[in-house]
C-alpha cells in the first residue's frame, strides 16, 4: 500500500494514484482496499439519493448504520465505514482509472461528510 496526500489528509491505498503526491510521513486518515468478492448485502439499507454522473451512468447512495455505500453503474461499489475505511468492490466493467475518479470525486467527499466535515465542490465557492 502507498500513502498519498489528498484533501488535507493522507490516503493509504491498494489502488495506485499516479496524479497524487506521495505522503512520506504521518498517519493515514483513510484506508482504501480493493475487494476480490462482490459487495455484501447491506441490511436495512436506506437509499439517500441517486444521480446521473454521465450519459446512462448513475450512482446511488445507500446507508445502513455506520456504513455508506456508493453504487456506480460502471465502476462498482464503494463502502465507507466509520469515515476511515473504504472498500472498493469493482464492477464487471470497472477500471482503475474510473475508480480513481470516483475516489477523488464523491468517495472521499462522502468519507469527509461521515467524519462531520462539510465538503464543498470548488464551483460552489468560486
Tell me, what's the pLDDT at 118? 74
**Taking the C-alpha atoms of 69, 54, 106 and 30 in order, what is their torsion angle to the nearest 10 degrees?**
80
Tell me, what's the pLDDT at 125? 59
Indicate the range of 32-41, 47-56, 114-123 predicted with least confidence.
114-123
Range list of H helices, 1-126: 96-102, 108-114, 122-125
Buried b (16+ CB within 10 A) or exposed e, 20-39: beebeeeebbbbbebeeeeb
Mean pLDDT within 76-85: 95
Mean pLDDT within 31-44: 95
Give the CA distances from residue 86 to residues 6, 33, 50, 54, 109, in Å, rounded to whole numbers and listed in that order. 15, 6, 20, 23, 12
Mean pLDDT within 55-84: 95
Tell me, what's the pLDDT at 122? 67
Amino acid at each position: 500500500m502507498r500513502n498519498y496526500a489528498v484533501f488535507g489528509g493522507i490516503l493509504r491505498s491498494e489502488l495506485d494514484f499516479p496524479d497524487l503526491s506521495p505522503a512520506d510521513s504521518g498517519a493515514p486518515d483513510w484506508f482504501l482496499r480493493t475487494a476480490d468478492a462482490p459487495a455484501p448485502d447491506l441490511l436495512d439499507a436506506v437509499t439517500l439519493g441517486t444521480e446521473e454522473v454521465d450519459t446512462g451512468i448513475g450512482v446511488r447512495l445507500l446507508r445502513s448504520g455506520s456504513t455508506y455505500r456508493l453504487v456506480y453503474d460502471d465502476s462498482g461499489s464503494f463502502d465507507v465505514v466509520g469515515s476511515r475505511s473504504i472498500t472498493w468492490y469493482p464492477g464487471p466493467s470497472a477500471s482503475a482509472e474510473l475508480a480513481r475518479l470516483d475516489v477523488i470525486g464523491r468517495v472521499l467527499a462522502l468519507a469527509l461528510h461521515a467524519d462531520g466535515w462539510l465538503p464543498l465542490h470548488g464551483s460552489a465557492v468560486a
